[in-house]
Structure 1
């Protein structure tokens, strides 16, 4: 995975904010997923920016953390979403 890639949400995934957390529903598998406040920030940044470089820049403005640490966390987050079938990672 690299910062030049774009994230595309699956058409079958619906997200709803509930009590400071994000609940995701995958209509294909009928599975629910829960995101804590950090995961929700990551999800919202991806929704807004799509391109991982832009997502990272957005998150850097929100969090006081080393860029490499945040980048690693972002890649891990996206990989988990991808393995669950919630997103696709595309080369731009």
Structure 2
């Protein structure tokens, strides 16, 4: 994963936080996705930051986790979002 990439959210995805967890609805596919607490934190950081590098740094400050573990988890999360069509990744 290239941390210098920027995440762009699909226009057809609506997100709503419910009891500390994010629920995503893709209006195009009509699929719902539920994010746990960590997934919600990643989603929110991606909305607030310009690049995945900034998201990575924000999460590193929030959680007591090794850099390698966080990078792997972030990469897997972004891959799932990409495969579901919820986001696009662009070179920053």
TM-score range, shorter chain: over 0.9
How far did 1:68 drift? 1.0
RMSD over aligned Cα, in angstroms? Answer: 0.7
Unaligned runs of 5+ in 1: none
Number of corresponding residues: 92
How far did 1:20 drift? 1.6
How far did 1:19 drift? 1.2
Residue 73, structure 1, aligned to residue 73, structure 2: yes
Unaligned runs of 5+ in 2: none
Report the Cα distance in structure 2 between the residues aligned to 1:18 and 1:34, rounded to whole angstroms.
10
- Report the TM-score, using the length of structure 2 for normalisation: 0.97
Report the Cα distance in structure 2 between the residues aligned to 1:50 and 1:7, rounded to whole angstroms.
8
Report the Cα distance in structure 2 between the residues aligned to 1:63 and 1:47, rounded to whole angstroms.
18
- Report the TM-score, using the length of structure 1 for normalisation: 0.97
Name the SS for the 1:58 alignment partner.
helix
Name the SS for the 1:69 alignment partner.
helix
The equivalent residue for 2:39 is: 39
Contact 1:6 1:51 (8 Å CA) reproduced:
yes
The equivalent residue for 2:3 is: 3
